[in-house]
Amino acid sequence: MVSFYSFFNHLFGVVFAPKVQKAIEKIILLLAALGFVIHLGLIFLKSQGFILFSSLNNELLSDPISAIYTPFSLILVYEVYLLLFFLPRSFTSCVSKQFEIISLIVIRKIFKDIPQMDLVENWYSSSHNLELMLDLLGFLFLFLLIYLFNQSKQRLQKKPENDPRLLQFISSKKAVSVLLFGVLGIMLVATFGQWLFDVLNQQIVSQIDGLFFNQFFTLLILADVVILLISFRYTEEYSKLIRNTGFIIATILIRLSFSAEGFLTMILILTGVSFALLILKIYNAMELPKVDSTV
């Protein structure tokens, strides 16, 4: 068992080493800049009638603003990598990173939808305009909720990291993180390959906003459940078990948002983040008296 933990600790240290993180960051930024230029080039060629992309979503090739969609997609991939790095730290930090990822997905969608605004006289009656306005207001509220969540997670004192049981639990989460890294890497390549295949075969790619991230959050839910089950071995505190279960419910609600349409998408996201925030607030209220009593 010791060799098992030491193996994954070493592997985690290699995959998420500072030098590796910096290298991946540089590669992602380079690809993001290159993707932005290529996307702009495709929009220009289409506007001049040189090429037609009947298999691509028209909203992504209708306006230069839509080109921001590509670099944001690549930055999100890097954010997923950072999420796996934060996974062994704490359940709360991992959930906070999930919320940051979903906020970036919302921004990416907004950049895609802005050029499609209906600017006619009765613009206020357009369902697209109303959905865009809801997304903008929802993003502001989402940003506030994430701020409140991060403020709340810093209130409680952390346990000393020299606790043997805590170190063993962290090692278990590192094993989950490394395995998740491998599965998500394969999933990312498969998703990109399927998207490229669909484009080359003139097939419309539906729900492009949820591409890869739909599967990512599904896999993340399973990983959270595994970590929750592992945590039963190291803690029997009711408050922590309920908190972690509540965070999983929040992740499920966010996952469902990718299958929803229209206003329901933002409603599910805000409901999930609000639920997690309330869970954390209640957890803090239960745990703070315990901390004060030991001081």
Q: Which residue has the higher pLDDT, 231 or 34?
A: 34
Q: Identify the three-state secondary structure at position 119.
A: coil
- Cα distances from 185 to residues 84, 109, 159, 179, 181, in angstroms, run 12, 23, 33, 10, 6
Q: Give the pLDDT band (50/70/90) at residue 24.
A: very high
pLDDT of residue 127: 77
Cα-atom radius of gyration of the chain, to the nearest Å? 21
Give residue-wise pLDDT tens across range 52-75.
Answer: 655 555 677 778 888 888 898 899
Q: How many CB atoms lie within 10 A of CB 198?
A: 15
The single-letter code of the amino acid at 274 is: S
Helices (H) and strands (E) in the chain, counts: 9, 0
pLDDT at 163 over 70: no
pLDDT of residue 141: 96
Give residue-wise pLDDT tens across range 197-210.
Answer: 776 676 666 667 66
Domain containing residue 97: 2-116+123-294
Please give the tally of structural domains in the chain: 1
* Contact indicator for 166, 234 with CB cutoff of 8 Å: yes
- Determine the average pLDDT of the residues in 268-286: 94
pLDDT of residue 295: 40
Per-position DSSP letters for 10-45, written without gaps between them = HHHHHHT-HHHHHHHHHHHHHHHHHHHHHHHHHHHH
User: Which pTM does this prediction carry?
Assistant: 0.85
- Determine the average pLDDT of the residues in 171-191: 90
pLDDT of residue 61: 77
pLDDT at 191 over 50: yes
- Please state, rounded to an integer, the average pLDDT across all residues of the chain: 84
Give residue-wise pLDDT tens across range 120-160.
Answer: 767 666 777 888 889 999 999 999 999 999 998 866 566 55
- Determine the average pLDDT of the residues in 274-294: 80
Percent of the chain with pLDDT over 90: 36
pLDDT of residue 104: 92
* Contact indicator for 243, 279 with CB cutoff of 8 Å: yes
- Determine the average pLDDT of the residues in 6-17: 89
